[in-house]
Amino acid sequence: MRSRLAALLLSFLLAGPAWARDELVIGITQFPATLNPAIESMLAKTYVLAFAQRPITAYDASWQLVCLLCERLPSMENGLAKVEILADGKKGIAATYTLRSDATWGDGRKVSTDDVVFSWEVGRHPQSGVASAELFRRITKVEVKDSRTFTLHIDKLTFDYNAINDLRLLPAHVERARFDKAPAEYRNRTAYDQDSTNPGLYNGPYRIAQVVQGSHVILEPNAHWAGSKPAFKRIIIKAVENTASLEANLLSGGIDMIAGELGLPLEQSLALEKRTGSRFSVITRPSLTFEHLDLNLGSPLLADIRVRRALLLGLDREGINRQLFDGRQPVAESMVPPLDWVYAADLPKAGFDPVRAAKLLDEAGWSPGPGGVRVNARGERLALELVTTAGNRSRELVAQVMQSQWKKLGVELRLKTEPPRVLFGETVTKRKFAHMALFAWYSAPENVPRSTLHSQMVPNAANNWSGQNYTGYASAEMDRLLDRVETELDRDKRKAVWRDIQALYAADLPALPLFFKADCFILPKGLTGIEPTGHQDPSPYWVENWRWQ
């Protein structure tokens, strides 16, 4: 009898969550290096904060720009956005936003225009070290109408003039004193890392109640949230940086779901679905996530475009896609995905051509040497180092395939892995990688890659490591095209400029494009309301809609 009861209990537990369950445990593959919404660009931070903070605007699952903290999107049509003629004769924009009347920080203080002004001041400061400083520099003035309404005066009229997703609000009443005391030290003094459970830091449905570094974050409902009541009394986000261990945690019941934005790679998810049958709901969605190799262009080994082109031609990316990803992760030719309307489908494709690759290396002065590794006239070996996230089985497999394929070309590749919080907190942010860094960029629909490609966006000590141009790419023509595409309002003309951007990217290869990834959400049966977005604004921005069926 006992064994039968035990079997029934086990069957019940494996079948899924109880109807009255009020706790959700989510597994992700990275732990945030910081929780400050303005500093660094790590996806783990964006995902965790999405439960606890709301940006003013965001793109939804339909890829439409919507208000989250504002009442109405400004536009030319509704009169809330107006063209301004600047002192130099160029066009700017004045866009007026009104914060939601019920927007409240977790300590009961209203979200106000004081927070908007403070966040702008932090973003504009040259030593603050914010990840995306361009929007803050473009906002020349924040005109405060009252405690909720403000007008942003922006020095460029761009096609996405009302998208201020990068203006992440910081609570002035909590953070101002820390920032004013030493702006250059703010990234190390922020309350988001030194006082993470302070409810005044959060304005979303949840607030962070506990942080165990490198392990997990616990979220509890924000008592001052005025929107739809969230379903869970507690959400635990566990960082399991090894994807095999993450899967084991799911199967053992240690976690309830795996986030699609930061979870199992496609091939591992597909294999799990085949093994477990209908135990979980598996949602696979193509995304704008760009898997690539950032190249340190300051390295003499990679300065020659012939070497970079040879490395790309020496990779059988289509073969990798078929064998590892069941053909579901399209090969990338630039940073623009086929899902985006500005994708240039007519550009030439860099296929697998090891013969041409070998010829290019010969032309670049790299001849076959001892042990099969190419050497130059000075006897230096063509030996490169690739660093990527530790524990990601997919990336480790791809790196091993690259190592094998490049070996046939006479290129030695040394593989190195680092915990994500080290890789993104130090190595790429401060451009410490010797040659290559393998990771992914999330982007928004028609996302202008100024932060990653413009010459003014190279992080360095002088700007306190602000910017995301980790390769050090500097091209006057790319700068011109980026400036032009932003200010072109005509869609057809803008698409033509986008084509030029993609063509120049493919010609210069500041990074080696690999694939556009698919997001795999592995959910417990009965959990509803989760809508994969496929872009950088993650699904927890709408966590109040998550429910047990």
Residue range 12-68, pLDDT digits in tens:
444 444 334 799 999 999 999 999 999 887 899 999 999 999 999 999 999 999 999
More confident residue, 345 or 328: 345
- If you average pLDDT over residues 153-172, what whole number do you get? 95
The pLDDT, as a whole number, for residue 261 is: 94
Instruction: Find the radius of gyration of the CA atoms of the chain.
Output: 24
CA separation for the pair 379, 275 (Å, rounded): 51
- Note whether 36 and 192 are within 8 A (CB): yes
pLDDT (0 to 100) of residue 52: 98
DSSP code string of 278-329: TSEEEEEEEEEEEEEEEE-TTSTTTSSHHHHHHHHHT--HHHHHHHHHTT-S
Residue 461 lies in a domain: yes
Query: Please, which pLDDT band fits residue 11 given cuts at 50, 70 and 90?
Result: very low
Given a cut of 90, whether residue 192 has pLDDT beyond it is: yes
Range of the domain at 398: 287-518
CATH number, domain with residue 461: 3.10.105.10
Q: What is the pLDDT of residues 452-478, one digit of tens each?
A: 999 999 999 988 888 899 999 999 999
**Cα–Cα distance measured from residue 494 to residue 188, given in angstroms and rounded to the nearest whole number:** 40
Say yes or no to pLDDT of 191 above 80: yes
* pLDDT for residue 3 is more than 80: no
- Per-residue confidence (pLDDT) for residue 44, from 0 to 100: 93
Counting residues of the chain whose pLDDT is more than 70, the rounded percentage is 96
- pLDDT tier at 230, thresholds 50, 70, 90: very high
Q: Are 412 and 402 within 8 A, CB to CB?
A: no
Q: What is the mean pLDDT of residues 171-179?
A: 97
Q: Is residue 60 part of a domain?
A: no
Bigger pLDDT: 61 or 6? 61
Q: How many domains does the chain have?
A: 1
- Domain membership of residue 370 (yes or no) is yes
pLDDT, tens digit, 9 for 90 and up, residues 415-435: 999 998 899 889 999 999 999
Query: What value does the mean pLDDT of the chain take?
Result: 93
451 in any annotated domain: yes
The answer to whether position 351 is within a domain reads: yes
Residue 340, domain member (yes or no)? yes
Model pTM score: 0.85
pLDDT recorded at residue 317 = 97
Residue 482 falls inside a structural domain: yes
> Is 6 a residue whose pLDDT tops 70?
no
Give which of 547, 536, 549, 388 is closest to 50, Cα–Cα.
536
Task: Look at residue 136 and tell me whether its pLDDT is greater than 50.
Answer: yes
136 in a structural domain: no
> Cα separations (Å) of 281 from 255, 500, 545?
14, 41, 17
Average of per-residue pLDDT across 390-397? 88
